[in-house]
A and B are shown apart, each in its own frame.
Chain A
Amino acid sequence: METNNNILEIKDLSVSYTVANVVTHVLEKVNLTVPKGKSVGLVGESGCGKTTTMRAILGVLPSNANIESGEILFNGTDVLKMPYNQLQEFRQTGAGLIFQDPSSALNPVISIKKQFLTSLKYAHKDKNYSSAQLYDKAIEALNAVSLADPKRIMNSFPFQLSGGMRQRVCIAMTLAGEKELLLADEPGTALDVTIQDQILRLIKNLVETLDLSVIMVTHSLGVIRQVTTEVNVMYAGSIVEGGDTHQVFEHPSHPYTIALMDCLPKLTGTGISEGIPGRIPDYDHPPAGCRFYPRCTYALDRCKSEVPGKTIVEDDHWVACFAAEEGKVCPK
Chain B
Amino acid sequence: MLLFKSIMKRLASSIVVLLGLTIVIFALMKAVPGDPARLALGPNAPEEVLEHYREVNHLNEPIPVQYFYWLSNAVQGDFGTSSYTQRAVSQDIKDFAPATIELVIWAGIPPLFVALFLGVISAQHKNKWPDYLTRFLGYIFVATPTFVFAVLFILIFGYWLPVMPTIGGRLSPQFTIAPVTGMYIVDALIGGQPAAAWDAFLHLLFPALALSLGKTMQEARITRASMLQNADKDYITMVTSQGVPKKIVNRRFLLKPSVIPTVTVMGMDFASLFGNAFLVERIFNWPGLSSYGMNAILNKDSNAVVAVVLIIGLAFVGTSIVVDIVAMILDPRMRQARTR
Do A58 and B331 touch across chains, with their CB atoms under 8 A apart?
no
- The complex places the Cα of A174 from the Cα of B237 at a distance, in Å, of 13
User: From residue 307 to 340 of chain B, which have CB atoms closer than 8 A to chain A?
Assistant: 330-333, 336
Interface check A229, CB cutoff 8 A:
no
CB nearest neighbor in B for A88? B243
Do B257 and A122 touch across chains, with their CB atoms under 8 A apart?
no
Do B253 and A99 touch across chains, with their CB atoms under 8 A apart?
no
Greatest chain B CB density within 10 A among A62, A89, A110 is at: A110
- The complex places the Cα of A125 from the Cα of B238 at a distance, in Å, of 17
Do A63 and B235 touch across chains, with their CB atoms under 8 A apart?
no
Do A106 and B243 touch across chains, with their CB atoms under 8 A apart?
no
**CB proximity of B257 to chain A, nearest CB, Å:** 5
Do B243 and A123 touch across chains, with their CB atoms under 8 A apart?
yes
**CB proximity of A177 to chain B, nearest CB, Å:** 6
User: From residue 216 to 266 of chain A, which have CB atoms closer than 8 A to chain B?
Assistant: none
Of B232, B245, B253, B333, which contacts A159 at CB under 8 A?
Answer: B333
Q: A107-B257, A108-B257, A110-B256 are in contact. Are A119 and B242 (CB under 8 A)?
A: yes
Do B238 and A105 touch across chains, with their CB atoms under 8 A apart?
yes
Interface check B234, CB cutoff 8 A:
yes
Interface check A304, CB cutoff 8 A:
no
Do A157 and B332 touch across chains, with their CB atoms under 8 A apart?
yes
Interface check A69, CB cutoff 8 A:
no
- The complex places the Cα of A123 from the Cα of B243 at a distance, in Å, of 7
Residues of A within 8 A of B333 (CB): 108-109, 157, 159
**CB proximity of A255 to chain B, nearest CB, Å:** 34
User: From residue 199 to 245 of chain B, which have CB atoms closer than 8 A to chain A?
Assistant: 231-245
- The complex places the Cα of A248 from the Cα of B245 at a distance, in Å, of 41
Question: What sequence of 0s and 1s flags, for each residue 310-327 of chain A, a beta carbon within 8 Å of any chain B beta carbon?
Answer: 000000000000000000
Interface check B248, CB cutoff 8 A:
yes
For chain A, the count of residues having a C-beta within 8 Å of the partner chain is 37
Residues of A within 8 A of B240 (CB): 60, 91
Residues of A within 8 A of B239 (CB): 107, 115, 118-119
Do A122 and B241 touch across chains, with their CB atoms under 8 A apart?
no
Do A159 and B332 touch across chains, with their CB atoms under 8 A apart?
yes
Interface check A96, CB cutoff 8 A:
yes
Interface check A97, CB cutoff 8 A:
yes
Q: A91-B240, A109-B333 are in contact. Are A62 and B252 (CB under 8 A)?
A: no
Do A104 and B332 touch across chains, with their CB atoms under 8 A apart?
no
User: From residue 73 to 101 of chain B, which have CB atoms closer than 8 A to chain A?
Assistant: none
Greatest chain B CB density within 10 A among A104, A109, A115, A119 is at: A109
Interface check A45, CB cutoff 8 A:
no
Q: A107-B257, A109-B331 are in contact. Are A91 and B237 (CB under 8 A)?
A: no
Do B238 and A96 touch across chains, with their CB atoms under 8 A apart?
no
CB nearest neighbor in B for A97? B241
Residues of B within 8 A of A96 (CB): 241-242
Residues of B within 8 A of A89 (CB): 243
- The complex places the Cα of A173 from the Cα of B172 at a distance, in Å, of 63
Q: A91-B240, A157-B332, A159-B333 are in contact. Are A109 and B257 (CB under 8 A)?
A: yes
Interface check A11, CB cutoff 8 A:
no
Of A55, A110, A160, A177, which contacts B242 at CB under 8 A?
Answer: A177
B-contacting residues of A (Cβ < 8 Å)?
A: 55, 58, 60, 62-63, 88-93, 96-97, 99, 101, 104-111, 114-115, 118-119, 122-123, 125, 157, 159-160, 170, 173-174, 177
Give 9 new A-B contacts, CB below 8 A, not counting A91-B243, A104-B234: A60-B241, A91-B242, A96-B242, A105-B238, A108-B235, A110-B252, A118-B239, A118-B244, A122-B242
Q: List the 5 closest A-B pairs by CB distance, nearest first.
A: A92-B243, A91-B243, A104-B234, A119-B242, A107-B235
What are 17 A-B interface contacts by the 8 Å CB criterion?
A62-B232, A91-B241, A101-B234, A104-B235, A106-B238, A107-B253, A108-B257, A109-B256, A109-B330, A109-B333, A111-B332, A118-B244, A118-B248, A122-B243, A122-B244, A159-B332, A173-B238
A-contacting residues of B (Cβ < 8 Å)?
A: 231-245, 248, 252-253, 256-257, 260, 330-333, 336
